[in-house]
Amino acid sequence: MTDPASGANSFDEWTRLSQVIVGRAEYYTAHDLDTSWRLFFFDNVAPTLGNEGGADPLLAIPEQLVDELNEDIAGLVDALTGCGVSVLRPATPGKNVDICSPLWNARATPPLNVRDQTIVLGNTIVETAPHVRSRIFENDLLKPLFYSYFEGGSNWLSMPRPALGRDSLDDAYFRRLGIDVSRATEGETALGIDGLGLELVFDGAQCMRLGRDVLVNVANRNHELALRWLTVNFPHMRFHRLDGIADNHIDSVVVPLRPGLMLLRSPKYLAFLPKEMQAWDVIYPPETDESTFPKYDDFGFVIPIASRYIDINVLSIDEETVVVNSHYPELISVLEGRGFTVVPVRHRHRRLFGGGFHCFTLDTVRAGGCEDYLG
């Protein structure tokens, strides 16, 4: 089903979903732990960096876990289709694809977390500016879909592609917290470009869309440049700078369920939000049993690349219907208690592949428009 005939229309996270791209993970059999990856995931992986064994930057992921991930994604696709949503998929990635830029090389990441490299702002598809080198060509596998949306009347823009050289990434977020990231960057082999310095580097998942208003996490200079780009290119929208609410992605921190109600990781994040949102009703993540998170110590992955809050990373079908990980029954009960219809879908390896259902999807068509929900 590749029929995005009438273009994209997606302004928010909760109005009726009619079309969505769901990522795919064939051959996701390694993480390339280069310096850009280590810096990106430093918040998660810092305690174990250097214990992966050997100098090989590729951390192999056992095939069985990839198969299980793919089973769970198939379940997500079935559930969405069952809810009447049209599901589109990226093209299939190749096996063990190595990429090489003039400055570095990396093992390509499959297009699983499709939320990360694109933002849909109304009828415009915006490709963002990857932090992690192995992700720089990831969106190419979505291009067949982006062309169809473009032909259907959508606009299609791209942030300037970063060179991701040795001096491109800013560690200011960590420096501000007094955290030394030298363990992430030591052994850097990438080359630099004279005079380039910090670049515009930004992931789509640093935004949360609320109609005309968009929350934008700015944790460093890389992100600040992206906010400037967004403001210049979308003068009719209101971008709200969240000053370092997280290292990068925010969809396991703040997840709006409908105007006036959001999931929030903890009360300490309220102060980062626009004043109007601070008055919203909040659902905080209920305690969960750690045993629902598989352990990966056997193959050298002690602390995975997502926090346990990854399970608040839900996908809304509409204001009353939410897709939630069946491995988080505590959240399901809370949402049902609030009158939501929950569509439970199994998702085991969310902390290994760094994404929940919001990360794995890019909602391209929803009913809502450029409304003012904060007014």
Q: Does residue 44 touch ligand ARG according to CB under 6 A? A: yes
Q: Cα separation of 338 and 284, whole Å?
A: 13
Does an H or E element contain 208, and which? strand 207-210
Q: Which is nearer to ligand ARG, 254 or 343 (CB)?
A: 254
Q: Does residue 251 touch ligand ARG according to CB under 6 A? A: yes
**CA distances for 79 relative to 59, 66, 322, angstroms:** 32, 20, 11
Q: Does residue 359 touch ligand ARG according to CB under 6 A? A: yes
Q: Cα separation of 151 and 7, whole Å?
A: 7
Minimum distance, C-beta of residue 202 to ligand ARG, in the bound complex (Å): 13
Q: Which is nearer to ligand ARG, 115 or 166 (CB)?
A: 115
Q: Does residue 309 touch ligand ARG according to CB under 6 A? A: yes
359 classed as catalytic: yes
Cα-based torsion angle of the residue sequence 291, 323, 363, 93 in order, rounded to the nearest 10 degrees: 50
Minimum distance, C-beta of residue 304 to ligand ARG, in the bound complex (Å): 9
Minimum distance, C-beta of residue 194 to ligand ARG, in the bound complex (Å): 33
Residues 187-206 contacting ligand ARG, CB under 6 A: 205
238-243 sheet: strands from edge to edge: 207-210, 213-218, 238-243
Cα-based torsion angle of the residue sequence 37, 254, 239, 369 in order, rounded to the nearest 10 degrees: 120
Length of the chain as a residue count: 375
Residues 76-115 contacting ligand ARG, CB under 6 A: 113, 115
Q: Does residue 310 touch ligand ARG according to CB under 6 A? A: yes
Q: Does residue 13 touch ligand ARG according to CB under 6 A? A: no
User: How many C-beta atoms lie closer than 10 Å to residue 32's C-beta?
Assistant: 21
SS3 244: coil
Q: Which of 34, 116, 170, 203 is catalytic?
A: 203
249 classed as catalytic: yes
Residues that bind ligand ARG in the complex, under the rule CB under 6 A: 44, 113, 115-116, 205, 249, 251-252, 306-307, 309-310, 354-355, 359
**Residues annotated as catalytic (active site), given as ranges:** 203, 249, 359
